[in-house]
Structure 1
Amino acid sequence: MPERRPRKDATRNREAVLAAADALFTRCDSPEDVTMADIATEAGVGKGTLFRAFGDRAGLLRALYEARLEPVRKAVEAGPPPLGPGTPPRERVPALLDAVLCFKLDNRHLALALEESGSGSPYLAEHYQRWHRLLQAVLEQVPGMTDSDFTAHALLAATRADLVEHLAGTQRVPRERMRAQLAEFTGRVLARGPVREESAEE
C-alpha cells in the first residue's frame, strides 16, 4: 500500500503549533509557565489537536527541539569543518560541544523545559543519547583517550540546560565568555588523555 500522507490541515496545524510553542518559549519568564492550553490558544487550535499530534507536552517539546536542531544535525552529519565528519577529532570535539552550547543558549527555555520534562533519567532521552554516541565515536579517534564513554558524559555535563540557564540567566556570564570557558575546559580534557593511561600503568 502507498504511504499515507498527512492531511494538509493536519500538517498546517502541526506547523502552527510548533511556531506557537516556539514563540511562547522564547518570550516566557520560565518554561514552566507555558502550558498546553497556552500553546493551543496561541496556535488557534483545540487542545485535542495538540494531544493527537504530539501525545503530551513532552512529545511536543521533543518535536519542537528536533525542528530547531535540524540545521545543526545536517551540519554535523554532512557539513564542512569544523562540525562535519572530515574534521580531525581534536578539532571536531570542541566544535561539537560549542554547537551544543550555542544551540542551548539560543533556545534556553526550550532546552530547559525538555531536559526537565518527564520522570525518567535525562541520560536515557533520545536526544541526549544521540549526542553522546556521536561525541563518544569522535573521542575514540583521539590518540591516548582511554575512556571515551565517561569522557563524553563529562563533557556533555558542561552543556546541561540547567547549568547554561544558571550561568547565562542568573550569573549573566556573557555568551562569548561561556564559549571560551567550554573550549578551554575541553582542551584540557583532551590533553589529559595520555596522562590517564600512563598513570594507570604505574
Structure 2
Amino acid sequence: MPEPRSRKDAARNQEAVLKAADSLFARHESPEDVTMADVAAAAGVGKGTLFRAFGDRAGLLRALYEARLEPIREAVEAGPPPLGPATPPRDRVPALLDAVLCFKLDNRRLALALEESGSTSPYRAEHYERWHSLLRDVLEQIPGLADSDFTAHALLAATRADLVEHLTGDSRIPREGMRAQLANFVTKVLAAQPGNKDG
C-alpha cells in the first residue's frame, strides 16, 4: 500500500521543510537572503519536493506564517479571555489587535517578506482576509458602531508589517511603547462611536 506511505513521507517532508525554513529565517537579517535551495538543503529534501509541496517561495512563506499563527488562531476561536469568544466585544477588539501586533513584532522579517511578496494586493491575502473578517464580526457586535468593515481595515492598517518595521527599526519605538500606543488608538476609535456609553 504505497499511497499511505507516500502521504506520510510528504507530511514528514513538509514538517522538515517548515522547521528548516523557520530556523533559516530566524538566523538571517533579511528573508531575501534565504533561497529555496538553502531551505531544501537544510531540510534534506530535493528542490523538486520543495516546489511540489509549496509551489513557490511565497507559498513557503505563507505556510510558515500560518504554522506560526496557529496557536493564536486557536486562542481566538476557542480560548479564554481576552482573545476568546467569551470576551465582551469592546474588550476583545483591542486584545485581537494587540495579538496581531505582537505576532508581527515576534515575526518581523517573515511578516514583512510575506506582505511584500508577489504582485497581488496584501489585502487579498488569506491571512489578512481572515483577520479582517474576524475583527469586522466582533466590531458588528458593538451597538451603534458605524461601518464595521471600514473600521476593521483602518484598525488593521496600524499593524501592517511595513509600519511595524518602520516604527521598530527607524523610529526605535520599544515593543511595550508600540503596544501602548496601539491600545490608546483603538480606545479612541471605539470611544468615538455613538454606541459608546462612556464617551
Q: Does residue 96 of structure 1 match 2:96?
A: yes
In structure 2, the partner of 1:186 is 186
For 1:60, the aligned partner's letter is L
Q: Residue 80 of structure 1: CA displacement?
A: 0.6
Q: Residue 6 of structure 1: CA displacement?
A: 5.2
For 1:14, the aligned partner's letter is Q
In structure 2, the partner of 1:17 is 17
In structure 2, the partner of 1:176 is 176
Task: Please give the per-residue CA displacement for 1:109-163, whole angstroms capped at 9, x wherever unaligned.
Answer: 1111111111011111111000000000000111221110100000000000111
Unaligned runs of at least 5 residues, structure 2: none
After superposition, residues 49-198 of structure 1 pair within 5 angstroms as 49-194=49-194
Unaligned runs of at least 5 residues, structure 1: 196-202
Corresponding pairs, count: 193
Distance 2:5 2:89 in 1: 41
Q: Residue 171 of structure 1: CA displacement?
A: 2.2
Distance 2:60 2:118 in 1: 12
Which has the higher mean CA deviation after the structures are superposed, 137-146 or 147-156? Answer: 137-146
Distance 1:88 1:61 in 2: 34
Q: Residue 4 of structure 1: CA displacement?
A: 5.6
Identity among equivalent positions (%) equals: 80
Query: Would the alpha carbon gap of residues 162 and 6 (structure 1) be closer, same or farther in structure 2, given more than 3 Å must change?
Result: farther
Report the TM-score when normalising by structure 2: 0.92
Q: Residue 45 of structure 1: CA displacement?
A: 1.6
